[in-house]
Amino acid sequence: MGEAPAFFEDDLQGDFPNGLLLKSKGCETAVSVGCNKTYVIGATEKESACTIGVRIFDKSTSKWVIPTVLGTKPKPLGGHSAIALDEDRILVIKGNSTSDDCFLVNTAFVREQKARFGTEVVAWSKGVIGKSEKPIVISGPSGVGKGTLISKLMEEFPSTFGFSVSHTTRAPRNNERNGVHYHFTERSVMEQDIKDEKFLEFAAVHGNLYGTSIEAVEVVTDRGKRCILDIDVQGARSVRASSLEAVFIFICPPSFEELEKRLRSRGTETEEQIQKRLQNAKTELEQGNSPGLFDHILVNDDLEKCYENLKKLLGLGECVKTTKIPVPKLVHIPLKHAVSKIDQKILINCTAPEQEKSAPNMIVLDLSSTKGGAPGRTREAKTGPPLLQAYALGNRDMHNFQIEA
């Protein structure tokens, strides 16, 4: 907590439209949520290096609260606007970016984390707007064919799916590349990253640490792709318990003998490692049937048949293959603008004072396809790029716009 400069407090005590640009602070924006809290979003130091920070001004005590911030902050901004979508979420419309960001201030997840940290909490979230598709979690014992099925999916639908590249402390196999198959990491580094809340989930598997970083999912969703996670049953359980909404698929072998045969024929593990993986497979196969954990169980007997079944349950037909992702257009939002929200529309008034009488310059963002969000889910995947539906008033044709400050 800290004291605010008097003039700044005065600004915040009064009534103001959401998205007020604080003149005294250059690129800070204040958004009022509920009766007492004002979230101040933006740079605190130099205007030129406008990174996005969040502070909360509590009107009832006239004190500043520095919240615990979860999730990955957006990259430095070229300008931004912000508006409360509801009592739970604030939308941040960024400059120089195709993605919409939002932070959560009062969702069930945030309330849970507030209790855990004993502080105010805000959680960055992405992909709250747009046609989101749930991420896909694929689990199953080592050697069952998860990697093979995922590769086929990514090969056939390169613009639809993206692989969440996990971190692991295990050594790379001959054909594996750092940053592509895994981020190969020192245990001490990964443990520190886990402490720093950088992971959506993690687990110790076959004697090594594996984990999905929030960033790994974001990298995929920021490209407008549906995220695929290849994680073990413990990881699936963690994700299931989190507020990330995903589709959970468990892959089974036709028999234990066949699993062993595949594991051996892959030729990537030592005998000792094979024994460990087979031992763990027994537990994993039992857990695959845990009620409420997996949405679908697929038996990978004949590879092609299993792949067809996988595509079917993901709703993939011929039309998906040919879906074209629209190319975004840019809209320029000047630093000085006013934002307001009416029903499902956000109005951004970019009219310069000298234009006021002649040609009002308004941009409308359509929130009708707004989705929920949570850190990590945060980063909900999309079938198209993470765009806001927007149109300029006077031109009622709807476009997908990228916002440029």
Ligand X SMILES: Nc1nc2c(ncn2[C@@H]2O[C@H](COP(=O)(O)OP(=O)(O)O)[C@@H](O)[C@H]2O)c(=O)[nH]1
Residues that bind ligand ADP (CB under 6 A): 140, 142-148, 262, 265-266, 300, 303, 306
203 binds, among ligand X, ligand ADP, none (CB under 5 to 8 A by kind): ligand X
User: Residue 185 class from Cβ within 10 Å (0-12 exposed, 13-18 middle, 19+ buried)?
Assistant: buried
One-letter amino acid for residue 43 of the chain = A
134 binds, among ligand X, ligand ADP, none (CB under 5 to 8 A by kind): none
Residues that bind ligand X (CB under 6 A): 142-143, 147, 166, 170, 201, 203, 205-206, 210-212, 230-232, 234-235
How many CA atoms, within 13 angstroms, populate the side-chain half-sphere of residue 27?
A: 24
Cβ(325)–Cβ(398) below 8 Å: no
Residue environment code for 150-175, b if the CB has 16+ CB neighbours within 10 A, otherwise e: bebbeeebeebbbbbbbbbbbeeeee
In the complex with ligand ADP, which residue's Cβ is closer, 267 or 353? 267
234 binds, among ligand X, ligand ADP, none (CB under 5 to 8 A by kind): ligand X
In DSSP notation, 124-150 reads EEE--SS-B---EEEE--TTSSHHHHH
Tokens of 153: 């999916």
166 binds, among ligand X, ligand ADP, none (CB under 5 to 8 A by kind): ligand X
From start to end of 206-320, where are the E strands? 208-213, 226-230, 247-252, 296-299
Tokens of 282: 């027994």
In the complex with ligand X, which residue's Cβ is closer, 204 or 398? 204
Minimum separation from the CB atom of position 147 to ligand ADP (A): 3
Cβ(71)–Cβ(110) below 8 Å: no
In the complex with ligand X, which residue's Cβ is closer, 193 or 201? 201
Minimum separation from the CB atom of position 232 to ligand X (A): 4
211 binds, among ligand X, ligand ADP, none (CB under 5 to 8 A by kind): ligand X
Minimum separation from the CB atom of position 95 to ligand X (A): 33
Distances (CA, A) of 127 to 116, 335, 368: 25, 23, 14
**348: closest CA among 79, 63, 44, 86?**
79
In the complex with ligand X, which residue's Cβ is closer, 69 or 239? 239
Minimum separation from the CB atom of position 205 to ligand X (A): 4
Q: What is the DSSP letter of 207?
A: T
In the complex with ligand X, which residue's Cβ is closer, 367 or 381? 381
Going 215 to 219 to 220 to 223, the CA torsion angle's sign is positive
In the complex with ligand ADP, which residue's Cβ is closer, 32 or 300? 300
Annotated catalytic sites, by residue?
A: 173, 266, 277
262 binds, among ligand ADP, ligand X, none (CB under 5 to 8 A by kind): ligand ADP
Instruction: Give 93's strand partners.
Output: 81
Minimum separation from the CB atom of position 307 to ligand ADP (A): 9
Minimum separation from the CB atom of position 239 to ligand ADP (A): 18
